[in-house]
Amino acid sequence: MIELINVTKSFRAGTNVKYTARGINMVFPTGAVVGLLGRNGAGKSTMMNMIGGSTKPDSGQIRITGTVSWPVGFAGSFHRDMTGAQNVRFIARIYGVDTEDLLDFVADFAELGHHLNEPVRHYSSGMRSRLAFGVSIGIPFDTYLVDEVTSVGDANFRRKSRMVFQNRMERAGAVMVSHSMTQVRQMCSAGAVLEGGYLTYYEDIEEAIDAHHRNMGTGEED
């Protein structure tokens, strides 16, 4: 369970202050797969980072029961001079999982071949994303934070990513950001809509999508 208690977050934009969270009180239930919806710039990534712990709210608390991942697929924390395999082993030790089991999973999933034993600085952005997704989803968390990650790679890799993600969701929950309403419908059972610094939870994903469309002033979108 993820509980937001009077959470406020703002940024200065020139002479103005922009709020991405205004005293939010909400619970993401244990085991739920929640689509986090909102217009560009609404603060979805900031919300994910606050839940993940990399960004602190200005005020309020975020209480977490169980384990929560970093944003799945985030590749910014790899050590560029270490190989992909060395990075995987390092992360496995930090999170207390078997190093070789995680490495075997990532090698099979990310399909990097011999590049897994090369320094990450030589990777393309796509290769880093595939490595990051493999490491993220290879560790058993209670709740995964997912930010557009299943859009990485070609059609076959995206299909495999969705299958692995859905398999994980049989035993875990997630908070997921995606601009594809088709993808949100396929993967999410509930929704939360962020608009003007306020977050509204909907137990029915279709109600969340409808509210998002009303905020956008648009009809159905893919």
pLDDT digit string (tens) for the chain, length 222 residues: 899 999 999 998 888 899 999 999 999 998 999 999 999 989 998 999 999 888 999 999 999 999 998 877 666 678 999 999 999 999 999 999 999 999 999 999 999 999 999 999 999 888 888 898 889 889 999 999 987 655 566 678 778 888 888 888 889 999 999 888 988 998 899 999 999 999 999 999 999 999 999 998 875 544
Our count of domains for the chain comes to 1
Q: Which domain holds residue 49?
A: 1-67+146-152+174-222
Question: Contact at 8 Å (CB) between 134 and 109?
Answer: yes
According to the model, what pLDDT value does residue 222 have?
45
According to the model, what pLDDT value does residue 72 have?
74
According to the model, what pLDDT value does residue 69 have?
87
Residue 133 domain flag = no
In our burial notation (b when 16+ CB lie closer than 10 A, e otherwise), range 133-162 reads bbbbbbbebbbbbbbbbbebbeeebeeebe
Residue 1 domain flag = yes
Strand pairing of 143-147 and 68-72? parallel
- Rounded Cα distance, 179 and 174, in Å: 16
Q: Give the CA-trace dihedral at 82, 86, 87, 90, to 10 degrees.
A: -120
Element (H, E) at 30: none
According to the model, what pLDDT value does residue 219 have?
58
Q: Which of 128, 143, 140 is nearest to 52 (CA)?
A: 143
Question: Contact at 8 Å (CB) between 136 and 130?
Answer: no
According to the model, what pLDDT value does residue 220 have?
55
Residue 49 domain flag = yes
CATH number of the domain where residue 51 is located: 3.40.50.300
Residue 81 domain flag = no
Residue 38 domain flag = yes
Residue 140 domain flag = no
Residue 48 domain flag = yes
Q: Which of 175, 184, 171 is nearest to 213 (CA)?
A: 184
- Rounded Cα distance, 67 and 16, in Å: 36
Q: Which of 185, 167, 165, 175 is nearest to 143 (CA)?
A: 175
According to the model, what pLDDT value does residue 187 have?
86
pTM: 0.83
Residue 42 domain flag = yes
According to the model, what pLDDT value does residue 156 have?
80
Question: Contact at 8 Å (CB) between 194 and 42?
Answer: yes
According to the model, what pLDDT value does residue 149 have?
58
